[in-house]
Amino acid sequence: MHALPALAALLPIVAQGADAYPAVRSLPPWLWKHDKGDQSDWSKNGKNNNYTFETVTGFFAQDLDSTNASTFDFLASNFGLVSTAPYAWEAFDWSIQKLNKEAEKGVSYKVLYLARHGEGYHNVAEVKYGTQAWDDYWSLIYTDGNITWGPDPLITEKGIAQAQNVSAAWRQKATETGIPLPESFYSSPLTRSSDTLRIEFEQLYKDLGKEFEPVVMEGLRETIGEHTCDMRSNKTFIHNRFPTWDFQHGFTEEDELWTKERESNAARTARVRQALVDIWNNDESTLVSITAHGGTIQSALEAVNHRAFSVSTGGLIPVVVKATKQ
């Protein structure tokens, strides 16, 4: 393991991403935000789908093999920032700016704040019945008569409290530590993720006088198929619940992706990787918040060749990613 130098002097320590991914599960056309125009055909629009993603390690404890995901407390550990020096977050921000300023042509760096939704009623049911019984039976129906988990379950009171705790941490860091705040926000279309994102950032950004305009992305949803908790609500419901949020153009009214066949982990990773490609192709922001699911985060980490790291409900993992156009 490399020795960690002072944060402001950190050089990129990269892990090469995989070159080949399985075919992406059939999705609606990848069209971007309405105000960014029709981006459905990347080749015709000069967009590049061929990126190599790499993790730049050394900034966060979650990068290190010595950090145990099952016991790590990101709230008590400054979101995992390794440096404990004064002005550490400002130094981190400076380091990322320096990486982008000195990057070769075709290379760019982003900080992904990957957040998992707060506890949902489906999580409660899985704990109640155990994972094996959940996968074999309970996840295939909608309710046990006491708990309803499908379709598109909400977060529990505990899940709301988890999101409120994360919001309080962001507020404290924004006012006291100079943490670089997200410039762009993306959410899975499943309500548990969108509700979590709103709780964590909407009031904070209003108080700070900053724009909060999340984009709902189909590609960020949990593993598709079979489990009723992973059916999404229709677009009208989502819009009515989050009227100021945007959708990728082409986001369908009904859930056209959910089937009784469970998506493979490899297919999910290919789908999530494509979502990252779309973000890189269309968003110049360096600091990006993505609120989604345990499976989505697992696949995002795999896509950027970060080590496996389980994120609990209401959890967060920051990742510095280097993208190189091929």
Q: Which residues are catalytic?
A: 117, 222
The whole-angstrom separation of Cα 237 and Cα 221 is 16
Q: What is the DSSP track for 208-253?
A: HT-----EE-GGGSSS-SS-GGGPPPPHHHHHHHSTT-EE-TT--S
Angle at 204 (CA atoms; ends 174, 183), nearest 5 degrees:
70
Per the CB < 8 A criterion, the answer to whether 121 and 142 are in contact is no
**Omega within 30 of 0 (cis) for the link into 151:** yes
Per the CB < 8 A criterion, the answer to whether 296 and 220 are in contact is yes
Q: Other CB atoms closer than 10 Å to residue 172's CB: what's the count? A: 11
Which phi and psi angles does 281 have, rounded to 5°? -70, -25
Per the CB < 8 A criterion, the answer to whether 247 and 56 are in contact is no
Per the CB < 8 A criterion, the answer to whether 226 and 139 are in contact is yes
Which amino acid, one-letter code, is at 225?
A: G
Q: Other CB atoms closer than 10 Å to residue 79's CB: what's the count? A: 21
Tokens 């909060």 identify what position? Answer: 212
R_g of the chain computed on alpha carbons: 19
Length of the chain: 326
**What would the two tokens of residue 210 be?**
């900053």
